[in-house]
Chains A and B, each alone.
Chain A
Amino acid sequence: MLGAHVLALVCVGLAVGLGLWQHDAWQERRSAEARDLTEQPSQPLDDVIGADDPFPGDRVGQPVEVTGTWLPEATVLISDRDDAGRRGLWVVTPLTSGGPDDPAIAVVRGWIAETDAVPPAPTGTASVTGWLQPPEGSGVLDEDPADDVYPQLRVADLVQRVDGDLYGAYVVAQDGVDGLEPADLAALPEVGRFTALRNLLYAIEWWFFGAFAAFIWWRFVRDEAELDRRLAASAADDGAPGGADGETDAAVSSLEA
């Protein structure tokens, strides 16, 4: 009897707790997604991230200004990038931040439809404003490692093409450099837009099971109480004529009948 109550409490508590956990995860992800920095005023790159710093997770999409020298020989293309529904490529050239020998950051100059439409890489110095993005890299295989086309924008791939240091981030130029069509931020691979919703649905599920366990528990308690009441009532009925010894009375009355 006590065991049943404990079991019910554990089940309800567990379900409510797991539901709260999923609900918190849902809210956390939503608030993280809601922090849209893309309309903020731009800041100098080195105010947001240093060359050797890990990527500041709360600055995704922050507009930054980079002023320095292009490294045209390190230009690469990133495949499978959508622009308004069309599949194309990103054109990426590193730009140093400061002098020609300072650390460089990969800049997405713009979007092109085909590999033969690559415009010549810019040379000399430039100042670019763009959105700061964390480097990609979830292990997508490069089908042809020998060419200039990569499936993802990874610092590790670019490092081999640059003499100096690279930032652990990249910048998507707000206006296409040299008349290139600007790369769309929405062309970024999806970051699990449904994950947040999934957490909420799981939370509801857990609370439902908690409520169901509580319901069964309540029924159980009610049935037990009902049973007790009926036992007591029948004992009282039987016990009324002959005192406490109801059993004997019942036996006698059944004999008489």
Chain B
Amino acid sequence: MSLFKSYRALALVVGVLLAVCALVAFPLKYFVTEGTDLQQFGEDASILWLVHGWIFMIYVVVAFLLARRAGWTPQFTILMLVAGLVPLLIFWVERQVVQRVRDETPELA
């Protein structure tokens, strides 16, 4: 699997996990009445934070390697890394990356 394809797959997984954690599990855990099934679900689903963290580690390495091989600026590299921590941002960043690779370095695709 090429670096580019790995990046796209990891971005999707990290993005979905982060969205579920930050936009579903977190509000359910803290803003729903304690003791209800929904609140319990939010608490149980919070284990996904851990999963997100570990997959994000792989994402960071792959994104860094891809950015270096494509010769992108440090600013854009940092944006790629930070995108894994800001809910929903990664979906937009991933599209930018796809665009850039197709325009600039199609041999990486």
Whether A associates with B in a native complex is yes
Chain A interface residues toward B at CB < 8 A: 138-141, 194, 198, 201-202, 205, 208-209, 212, 216
Tell me if B47 and A201 are in contact (CB < 8 A). no
Instruction: Find the B residue at minimum CB distance from A208.
Output: B57
The number of chain B residues touching the other chain, given as a range, is 10 to 19
Tell me the smallest distance from the CB of A211 to a CB of chain B, in Å: 10
Tell me if A201 and B54 are in contact (CB < 8 A). yes
Tell me if B50 and A209 are in contact (CB < 8 A). no
Bound Cα distance from A208 to B61, whole angstroms? 11
18 interchain pairs, CB-CB under 8 A:
A138-B35, A139-B34, A140-B35, A141-B35, A141-B36, A194-B47, A198-B47, A198-B50, A201-B50, A201-B54, A202-B50, A202-B53, A205-B53, A205-B54, A209-B57, A212-B60, A212-B61, A212-B64
Residues of B within 8 A of A209 (CB): 57, 60
Instruction: Find the B residue at minimum CB distance from A206.
Output: B53
Which residues of chain B from 38 to 84 have any CB-CB distance to chain A below 8 Å in the complex? Answer: 47, 50, 53-54, 57, 60-61, 64
Tell me the smallest distance from the CB of B79 to a CB of chain A, in Å: 15
Residues of B within 8 A of A141 (CB): 35-36
Tell me if A205 and B34 are in contact (CB < 8 A). no
Residues of A within 8 A of B47 (CB): 194, 198
Residues of A within 8 A of B50 (CB): 198, 201-202
Tell me if B57 and A205 are in contact (CB < 8 A). yes
Give 9 closest A-B pairs by Cβ, nearest first.
A139-B35, A205-B53, A139-B34, A208-B57, A140-B35, A141-B35, A201-B50, A198-B50, A212-B60
